[in-house]
Amino acid sequence: MWLFNSSVGRKFVMSITGACLAFFLLFHASMNLVAIISEEGYNMICEFLGANWYALVGTLGLAFLAVVHIIYAFALSIINYRARGRERYAVSDRSNGVEWASMNMLVLGFIILGGLCLHLVNFWAKMQLVEILGSEPANGVELIKYTFSKWYFAIIYLLWFVALWYHLTHGIWSAMQTLGWSNNIWLPRIKCISNIIATIIVLMFVAVLVWYFVAGNCCCASACAA
């Protein structure tokens, strides 16, 4: 099957799963933004995407994409490491305009994976999982308020977002190039599009984090002062 045993086939799988995950992030980040605009609105979305069949199908689909993306990431990295040969260059000069992110996709992926685990424990386990198990899910907005008011969570999430940004700035245009949607004119354009989409996604996530960090800590400060 060409999706396993040809290099372009493997990259095809990588780019499709990556692009779908990126679309999911765009959707997820816009939902989060609602938490700034209206707390009730956000809780309504949480309820809507609880343990319904469509939310569950979506979650399973996402998990499948993520697992395939990660398995392929390892497979590709191992094949590529071997292809490089046993002997390494003594001197290598990287001043030739090669993006840093493109050389470190696996490392960035690991950081994303770590952040993802924390995120699932922080939120998903207390919301959708609890509901699947039959109890009352936690209040979405309250959970955000609690988590993002803690400075250590805020820092870990910020680092996570930075890694995500780097991964996406390379990943999005790379996926388009892999699918063949590129030529001499469009190559600079898709790189630019990639940066814009990555920045929009990450800024939306960061906005919610900063909003609730400031809200949480300023309320504390005024409460202490009072």
Partner 1 sequence: MDKTINVTLKIWRQAGPKVKGHFETYKLDNISTDSSFLEMLDILNEQLISEKKEPVVFDHDCREGICGMCSLYINGHPHGPDSAVTTCQLHMRRFHDGDTITVEPWRSNAFPVIRDLMVDRRAYDKIMQAGGFVSVNTGGVPDANAIPIPKKDADEAMDNASCIGCGACAAACKNGSAMLFVAAKVSQLALLPQGKVEAARRVKAMLGKMDELGFGNCTNTGACAAECPKCVPLSAIARLNREFICAKFKD
Q: Which residues bind ligand HEM (CB under 6 A)?
A: 11, 14-15, 18-19, 21-22, 25, 69-70, 73, 76-77, 105-106, 109-110, 112-113, 167, 171-172, 174-175, 178
Give me 148's structure tokens: 């993002």
Q: Which residues have CB under 8 Å from 29's CB, separation 6+?
A: 200, 201, 204, 205
Q: Which does 188 bind (CB under 5 to 8 A by kind): partner 1, ligand HEM, none?
A: none
Minimum CB separation from ligand HEM for residue 208, in Å?
16
Q: Is residue 31 a contact partner of residue 76, using CB atoms and an 8 Å limit?
A: no
Non-local (6+) Cβ contacts of 9 within 8 A are 1, 2, 3
**180 interacts with, out of partner 1, ligand HEM, none, CB within 5 to 8 A per kind:** partner 1
**91 binding partner (options ligand HEM, partner 1, none; Cβ < 5 to 8 Å by kind):** partner 1
CB of 66 to partner 1, least distance (A): 19
* CA nearest neighbour of 45 among 60, 29, 57: 29
What residue spans of the chain are helical by DSSP H?
A: 2-5, 7-37, 39-48, 53-83, 100-103, 105-122, 128-132, 140-149, 151-178, 186-225
- In whole angstroms, the minimum distance from the beta carbon of 172 to partner 1 comes to 11
Footprint of partner 1 on residues 102-121 (CB under 8 A)?
102-103, 105
- Enter the tokens of residue 73: 């990431």
**Contact between residue 38 and residue 213 where contact means Cβ atoms under 8 Å apart:** no
Interface positions, 33-92, toward partner 1 (CB under 8 A):
76, 79-80, 82-92
- Closest approach of partner 1 to the CB of residue 9, in Å: 7
Binding site for partner 1 (CB under 8 A): 2, 5-12, 76, 79-80, 82-94, 96-99, 102-103, 105, 170, 173-174, 177-184, 186-187
